[in-house]
Amino acid sequence: MAPPPPSTLSLTERVKKLAQTLQFAWFLGHLTLLLSVFRYLFSYITFNFYSRWAQISYRLAFVAAAATYGIVVYKAYKARLNTGAKQQSALMLAADENVQYLLMALIWLYSRQIPLALLPFTVYSIFHVATYTRTNIIPTFQPPKSAPSGGTPSSPNSSKPSSSQSPLANSIGKFVKEYYDASMTLVALLEIGLWFRVLLSAFTFTKGSWVLLVIYSVFLRARYAQSQFVQGAFVQAIARMDSQVQNQSMPPAVRQGWDTVKGLGRKGVEATDLRRYLSGSNQQGTKKPQ
């Protein structure tokens, strides 16, 4: 993430310089997503799911999501051009988590409303808005103050001036650090729960639901391969199901059926492992969703 404008500039110049960056547009996209979700939530809790404002808020949230992930993908592409790096193949590009979320945002945008689909994007946006506010917005309006060079209690031998962050920035930093892992686990559970929600739509033969189920299954499989949080969520869910199924009161047919489902699941995971189709020399670590 780009640093905030230098504190030597005036406030007007700092704000202008900040607003001219592509990163600021990325921040506005995440902020728009949050505001849209909150507006949609108001319609949802008042049972106006398909009111005009509810539909606008729902669609705008995914437009904002697509814009933010599109910016990240564009910046990565531009960075590779500037460094002269070899462009990724279509398969390598599809393995990029930000590309996956960009595509899913577009798919949700043009699909029927499923409120649960908003929540994973919302959690990501909360942390992105918080982080950008801490590292860029607050320092722009309230530049860190430099401490005297004579030393501080925390660094008595320091010969360089140190800067002190705003208390609000420190609080945001603590919040992000403390709740990040738990929130990513929540995202994983939401994405798994969303798969069952789409499956339910498929069982009721909702228009386009089977196509959506296939697409989202591919997405969730990719998330499983790339996210330790998704893997952990699956492990917890399977362990819980195992404990329930192994109960003596459970009919043997149910236990056998569960074992069959697990076996098919393992085979499916192995058969759809993209790493088997990517050459070892071209494999690169994917970036976390931004």
Query: pLDDT tens digits for 75-121?
Result: 988 888 877 767 667 777 778 899 999 999 999 999 999 999 999 99
Identify the H or E element spanning 111: none
Give per-residue pLDDT as tens, 140-171. 998 877 655 544 444 444 444 445 678 888 99
Strand 145-146, strand 163-164: pairing: antiparallel
Please check whether residue 251 lies inside any domain of the structure.
Answer: yes
Distance CA 277, CA 11 (A): 52
Please check whether residue 65 lies inside any domain of the structure.
Answer: yes
Distance CA 139, CA 257 (A): 58
Please check whether residue 80 lies inside any domain of the structure.
Answer: yes
Q: Which tokens belong to 106?
A: 């577009």
Q: Average pLDDT in the 268-279 region? A: 66
Task: Name which of 38-47, 176-185, 206-215, 259-268 the model is least confident about.
Answer: 259-268
User: Which range marks the domain in which residue 136 is found?
Assistant: 11-144+167-282
Per-residue confidence band for 272, with pLDDT thresholds at 50, 70 and 90: confident
DSSP state of 5: P
Averaged pLDDT score across all residues of the chain:
84
Res. 230: pLDDT tops 70:
yes
Res. 232: pLDDT tops 60:
yes
Task: Look at phi and psi of residue 47 and say left if phi exceeds 0, alpha if psi is from -120 to 50, else beta.
Answer: left
Residue 60, classed as helix, strand or coil, is helix
pTM for the whole structure: 0.83
Please check whether residue 159 lies inside any domain of the structure.
Answer: no
Structural domain count of the chain: 1
Please check whether residue 161 lies inside any domain of the structure.
Answer: no
Query: To the nearest whole percent, how much of the chain has pLDDT over 70?
Result: 87
Angle (nearest 5°) at CA 274 between 190 and 102: 50
Please check whether residue 128 lies inside any domain of the structure.
Answer: yes
Please check whether residue 173 lies inside any domain of the structure.
Answer: yes
Distance CA 108, CA 106 (A): 6
CB 262 within 8 A of CB 217: no
Q: Average pLDDT in the 54-64 region? A: 96
Please check whether residue 183 lies inside any domain of the structure.
Answer: yes
Task: Name which of 44-58, 223-237, 272-286 the model is least confident about.
Answer: 272-286
